[in-house]
Amino acid sequence: MNFVGYNYIEVKEMSVLSGVLLEEKQRNLDMQESYVAEIKKLPKGSIRIKKRGNKEYCYLKYRERDKVITKYIGVASKCLPHLQAQVEKRKYFDELLKELEMEYKMICKVVKD
């Protein structure tokens, strides 16, 4: 049985492949949403340590629109390890999100729905 240049098996394989790509597209969107939600919970910016006398103090520096915000966090010895872990985690999720966005664009080029 031929369907205008394609045989039945080729049409069925294309249908299966299309279904897999549509599932992957939805999975990608779901992961993007979860990463965005996780990123919103984590601090943005970079850590700055300022020394005053004998003590070091930890600040978080980030942009909000066109302003640079410096937020006091606390004594560096107490808060630095935890804050560093959170900032690194946010950067990691940002990278994953960018990869997912590129993957999504590729899927959209292949699948037209």
The C-alpha atoms of residue 56 and residue 76 are separated, in whole angstroms, by: 5
The per-residue pLDDT for range 17-61, each reduced to its tens digit, is: 788 888 999 999 999 999 999 999 999 999 999 999 999 999 999
Tokens 């850590």 locate to: 47
pTM: 0.73
Residues 6 or more apart in contact with residue 37 via CB below 8 angstroms: none
pLDDT confidence band for 63 (50 / 70 / 90): very high
Number of domains in the chain: 1
**Residue 75 reports pLDDT greater than 50:** yes
What is the extent of the structural domain holding 66? 2-110
